[in-house]
Amino acid sequence: MTSIRLLIVDNHTLFRQGLVSLLQSEPGYEVIGEASSGEEALHMVPELDPDVVLMDVKMPGIGGVEATRRLTEANPQARVLMLTVSEEEENLFAAIQAGARGYLLKNADAGELLDAIQRVHAGEAMLSPIMTLRLLQVLQSGGIPAPLSELPLTSREQDVFQLLAQGASNRQIAETLTITENTVKTHVRNILEKLELHSRSEVAAYARRLSPTPWSP
């Protein structure tokens, strides 16, 4: 079993050295390089070919997110684990979109870090529980929170409305809510009438005006 080869990217020398010390004392981890900036990291990765890159977010020059974006594009085999103090959602999403496979806060303990490194190296992904919560909350609010409650829709109709807004078909709605397609059609008809709309597409467009941005698939 060969060691996991690590590259540490952080502009704080002391933190970097502390990490190196911590990781070198553990079997199975090998720090093969350190970089103090995004630019430096981009040069080092192709040469060193690390398994996992521990990347800080806030760095002068090319930030950790942008560095991750370029790095993962040019070197997909290198997994990036963001290691940061930033609890801001923007950074989390930016990092994910840039191709990061993990996002760990610096207040994590050594055990959590080692576990995260293992996970990321194994092709899995790991977020700090706090950041996982942020992610879930954003995905949950993908529906229509505030204005929806003022709509003249019944509870069940609101369920259907949410799914309609996401572009779901009658069949998908039926499966999701574990009711028949016939029932879904009834709800859809009532929703269209109450909102004075004429097609499910209009419902999605209508929802678009009601709330900002949602989820996903």
- Output the six-digit token pair for 43: 């040069």
Task: Enter the DSSP assignment of 141.
Answer: T
| Residues whose CB falls within 8 Å of the CB of residue 185, separated by 6 or more in sequence, listed in order | 170
| Residue 2 or 178 with smaller CB distance to its own copies | 178
Q: Sign (positive/negative) of CA torsion 127, 128, 130, 131?
A: negative
Asked if 27 touches its own copies (CB under 8 A), the answer is no
State yes or no: residue 94 binds its own copies (CB under 8 A).
yes
Q: Which does 144 bind (CB under 5 to 8 A by kind): DNA, its own copies, none?
A: its own copies
Q: For its own copies, which residue of 30, 39, 181, 202 counts as binding (CB under 8 A)?
A: 202
CB 71 within 8 A of CB 40: no
Give residues in contact with DNA (CB under 7 A): 154-157, 169-171, 177, 179-180, 182-183, 185-189, 192-193, 198-201
Report the residue number, 33 or 51, with the smaller CB distance to its own copies.
51
Indicate whether 209 belongs to the interface with its own copies (CB under 8 A).
yes
CA distance 201 to 216: 17
Answer yes or no whether residue 192 interacts with its own copies by CB under 8 A. Answer: no
Q: Which of 6, 8, 113, 168 binds its own copies (CB under 8 A)?
A: 168
> For residues 43 and 198, which CB has a smaller minimum distance to its own copies in the complex?
198
* Separation of first and last alpha carbons in the chain: 39
- Determine, following the binding rule CB under 8 A, whether residue 88 of this chain makes contact with its own copies: no
Cα–Cα dist 109/145, whole Å: 36
Residue closer to its own copies by CB (options 32, 151) is 151
Residue with tokens 């949950």: 140
Strand, coil or helix: 123: coil
The listed partner (its own copies, DNA, none) that binds 149, CB under 5 to 8 Å by sort, is none
Q: Is 161 helix (H, G, I), strand (E, B) or coil?
A: helix
CB of 35 to its own copies, least distance (A): 17
Among 8, 164, 174, 184, binds its own copies (CB under 8 A): 164
Q: Does 108 bind its own copies (CB under 8 A)?
A: no
- Give the strand pairing for 79-84 and 126-127: unpaired
